[in-house]
Amino acid sequence: MTAAAEPKAAGLKREMGLMSAINVIISVMIGSGIFVSPTAALRYSGSVGFCLVVWTVCGGISLLGALCFAELGTVVPRSGAEYAYLIEAFKKSHSFWGPLPSFICAWVYVMILRPAEIAVIILTFAEYSILPLRHLLGLEHLPADDLHLLVKLIGILGLGVITYINLSSVKLYVTINNVFGFCKVFACLVVIFGGIYQLAIGNTENLAGGFSGTNTNPGYIALAFYNGLWAYDGWSSVTTITEEIKKPEVNIPRSIMIAVPIITGLYVFMNLAYMTVLPMGEMIDSEAVGIDFGDRALGSFAFLIPLGVALATFGCALSIQFGVTRLCYVASQEGQMLEPLSYIHVRRATPAPAVAMQGALALAFILVGNIETLIEFASFLIWFFYGAAVVALLALRRTQPNVHRPYKVPLIVPYITLAVSVFLSIVPVISDPSPKYLFAVAFILSGVLVYTPFVYYKVRPRWINKLTFLIQVLFEVVPSSNKLD
């Protein structure tokens, strides 16, 4: 075969610029939470003034963590975020223990946490997408079981749509994600300007208390910051897709430095807007703060809040699935997952088998139901892995001091982030000692049982070759040409 006739190499393409990178962070960080339940931070802070301080400081702490990942993303130019950093920093330290942390990270994220999150988020999308239409469609009198089934069916349809988008092309994902990103920011601004209007007409009595009643109990203060920081989770999302960002050494730090402060401003001013309309007690007891705010402040435009929640959750689920498939792709390249999960569609340049697997896992969680507890027992591990990634940053500073670092975070920042990650990993266990954390440990141990024969000893069942061939034919995929050693 001549050179001209050789097939074009398959691999991930750098199709995402600065604006798309910013929108990835916005899409993952802004889900339903800021519209539905920003109450825990207020309850534990004890006053509206201190609550706003908590939201502001949490945004600053999140920015510090994101800047650590900005450096890591320029030193380790691979998708996969913390997985890629752990494998790079520790893989060669010990033949068995070195690659194990990265495998456990992939095991938790790929098999449980991310698909379960997608399932919960897409069901929230389904619930809020029909909320403005309940009266129009006559759903008020629908039996609860039938309504639950309808929500589940719409959720499955929504999951199918996001999986199709991520299967089809990165350009389609970028286009849709950019549109949804702008829409959800607009929904946040609707709330903020609604609050500004309330202040302009003199509704300030709910804010008059200021810092009166602030909790001074260290445990309550810790829980206030704990809940605030969880609301900001997602700041590392752009580093999950490093290999598809144009000029990542420039655009990753810039996207983080732009997106996280924007979201901090939105969160602080949205909470301020809620407080102008809802008394503190009502806000703490509310099941959906944004909905209650809309009913009180927006009049005939109240439908914009459930619409905003639907847009936010759809975009969030879309981006989480996009990101976790790239983690799966890199883990497969490293031999820590089935090899075909790193294969790329010959025309669309998407990791189609990884996308399909994540779609199937999320579907299974939707069908099983009762997955909130599942997320709870695994979610506290997120900040554990963030902390592990910061340790990887410090290790790479020591083992690879001469590697070019287009962006280098001040040394105090990773130490602050590491302290926060330890805090957030311990607080849920101390504040709510529950058997669910034993399930988390059990799941990690099950990962070790998988890792030992199939990754460390490289046991390869005979049926793997047949499965690989079937996947290649079914999804029209070939091995990736841009594997990094």
**Domain membership flag for residue 446:** no
Q: Which range of residues forms the domain containing residue 27?
A: 18-326+371-436
What CATH number does residue 252 fall under?
1.20.1740.10
pLDDT digits (tens, 9 = 90+) for 203-230: 888 888 888 888 888 888 888 888 888 8
Q: How many residues does the chain have?
A: 485
CA distance 111 to 26: 24
How confident is residue 3, by pLDDT bands cut at 50, 70 and 90? Answer: very low
Does some domain include residue 444? no
Show the tokens assigned to 205: 């009595």
Distance CA 350, CA 477 (A): 9
Does residue 167 fall inside a structural domain?
Answer: yes
What is the pLDDT of the chain when averaged over all its residues? 88
Share of the chain above pLDDT 90, in %: 56
Q: How many domains does the chain have?
A: 1
Question: What digits encode the pLDDT tens for the residues 134-155?
Answer: 766 666 777 877 888 888 999 9
289, 278 in Cβ contact below 8 A? yes
Distance in angstroms (rounded) separating the CA atoms of residues 105 and 128: 32
Q: Checking phi first, is residue 408 left (phi over 0); if not, alpha (psi -120 to 50) or beta?
A: beta
Distance of CA 54 to the CA centre of its chain: 21
Q: Is residue 31 part of a domain?
A: yes
Indicate whether 383 belongs to any domain: yes
Q: Which two tokens stand for residue 304?
A: 């914009």
DSSP string, 96-138: TTTTHHHHHHHHHIIIIIHHHHHHHHHHHHHHHHHGGGHHHHT
pTM of structure: 0.91
Highest-pLDDT range among 29-38, 82-91, 136-145, 425-434: 82-91
